[in-house]
Amino acid sequence: MVVLSSSPALKKSAIFSGVPEISLSEPGSDSLLVRACEDLGFFKVTDHGIPMELIAKLEEEALKFFASSESEKELFGRANPFGYGSKCIGSNGDVGWVEYLLMTVTSEPLSMAFLMQPSASSFRFALNEYILAVRKLACQILELMAQGLGIEQTDVLSKLVMDEESDSMLRLNHYPPCLMLREQNGFLTGFGEHTDPQIISLLRSNNTAGLEISLRDGSWVSVLPDQEAFFVNVGDSLQVLTNGKFRSVRHRVLANGWKSRLSMIYFAGPPPGERLAPLPEVMEEGEQSQYREFTWREYKSCAYKTLLGDNRLDLFHKRGDD
């Protein structure tokens, strides 16, 4: 459960300097990506080819949107699950110090009613341009991962994202300053600990700290923002597809009293009917699948029904009698 805004201030975790930084333009980036996915399930990429002007424009438009009145923001539609939401994260009682926009991403440009208004044309253009660029980047990263795993068909992962029925999403999270924390110099949970259910997630933030990840020993560490990079999370689906060789990373966001934080997360998901099971190409001789086969639709439904911090993959592990 996410900490309520009335709960005591939290202590920020120690800064972590061990996030793998991988230049996509350097030789050997495929093997470095694989190692990062195996060791941490989290890394950042540079030389990604997405213009900083494009990123800055979307950040500007998003902050302008979140600065508008509640009535204007609700014209986007109340989150169910897509649309505008505030503090309530999902439908299971999880809350956080956050407001957000959640949008479904398809092969077609965004066409939500709010975005079709003349006053939203600049926001719509920035969103569509960003989505095209970040989707391409996600596919590039997935193809390098496949290459690093020694898979001959290097689009085995990226084709799930490029499929016309791909169930991908874009989420814009805004963590406003929390005035009651200023004197305490403390932090609140903006978004509680969880793993992402999709294949991978690509994250950008507006040069404001707050992101924390859980290391293999269970300790939490703070990740400094990087204006030049995209952070990448391994998701639950990729953990299944690699039979646990890659591990999805638990992460959370802390909000502070002084500065607002804006994050933009692209979740690369497979088509709803896609059956998820370990890829034969990553299985060694005699290796058994750790998971029972299921569709993305089944897993997504499970994710929406559980609390944010629940370990959903446990429900899909193979048991001794399977």
Bigger pLDDT: 258 vs 10: 258
Whether pLDDT at 1 is above 60: no
Domain limits for position 40: 21-316
Q: What is the CATH number of the domain that holds 236?
A: 2.60.120.330
Rg of the chain's alpha carbons, rounded to an integer? 19
Whether pLDDT at 322 is above 80: no
Let me know if residue 3 belongs to a domain: no
For 238, the token pair is: 């990729």
Q: Please state, in angstroms and rounded to a whole number, the distance separating the CA atoms of residues 263 and 13.
A: 19
* DSSP-assigned letters across all residues of 160-192: HHHSTT--EEEEEEEE---GGGTTTT-EEEEEE
CA dihedral of 27, 33, 39, 41, whole degrees rounded to 10: 160
pLDDT at 259: 85
pLDDT at 229: 97
Let me know if residue 67 belongs to a domain: yes
Task: Among 53-57, 267-271, 312-316, name the one with the lowest average pLDDT.
Answer: 312-316
The pairing of strands 42-46 and 21-23 is: parallel
For 312, the token pair is: 């959903």
Q: How many CB atoms lie within 10 A of CB 286?
A: 5
pLDDT tens digits, one per residue of 164-189: 999 999 999 999 987 776 655 567 88
Q: Please state, in angstroms and rounded to a whole number, the distance separating the CA atoms of residues 98 and 117.
A: 25
Let me know if residue 11 belongs to a domain: no
Whether pLDDT at 8 is above 70: no
Q: Please state, in angstroms and rounded to a whole number, the distance separating the CA atoms of residues 102 and 228.
A: 24
Instruction: Answer yes or no: are the C-beta atoms of 201 and 207 closer than 8 Å.
Output: no
> pLDDT-derived band of residue 54, with 50, 70 and 90 as boundaries?
very high
Mean of pLDDT over the chain:
91
Let me know if residue 143 belongs to a domain: yes
Let me know if residue 7 belongs to a domain: no
Task: Among 41-45, 96-100, 181-185, 249-253, name the one with the lowest average pLDDT.
Answer: 181-185
What is the average pLDDT across 289-311? 92
Told to judge if 261 belongs to the known catalytic residues of this protein, a careful annotator would answer yes
Of 145, 73, 148, 170, residue with least CA distance to 114? 73
Q: Please state, in angstroms and rounded to a whole number, the distance separating the CA atoms of residues 135 and 129.
A: 10
Whether pLDDT at 82 is above 80: yes
What is the average pLDDT across 290-310? 92
For 189, the token pair is: 């949970």
pLDDT at 320: 54
Q: Please state, in angstroms and rounded to a whole number, the distance separating the CA atoms of residues 185 and 165.
A: 46
Number of independent structural domains in the chain:
1
Instruction: Answer yes or no: are the C-beta atoms of 46 and 24 closer than 8 Å.
Output: yes
Q: Please state, in angstroms and rounded to a whole number, the distance separating the CA atoms of residues 14 and 209.
A: 12
Quick one: which H or E segment has residue 123? Answer: helix 121-148
pLDDT at 182: 62
Quick one: which H or E segment has residue 30? Answer: helix 29-39
Q: How many CB atoms lie within 10 A of CB 295?
A: 15
What's the chain's length in residues? 322
pLDDT at 188: 83
**List 261, 297, 312, 319, catalytic entry:** 261
Let me know if residue 229 belongs to a domain: yes
Whether pLDDT at 41 is above 50: yes
Q: Please state, in angstroms and rounded to a whole number, the distance separating the CA atoms of residues 43 and 33.
A: 8
Q: Would the pTM of this model clear 0.85, i.e. be above it?
A: yes
Let me know if residue 10 belongs to a domain: no
> pLDDT-derived band of residue 256, with 50, 70 and 90 as boundaries?
confident
Bigger pLDDT: 244 vs 88: 244
pLDDT tens digits, one per residue of 199-216: 999 999 998 999 999 999
Query: What is the percent of the chain with per-residue pLDDT over 70, rounded to a whole number?
Result: 93
Let me know if residue 15 belongs to a domain: no
Count of helices and strands (H, E) across the chain? 7, 14
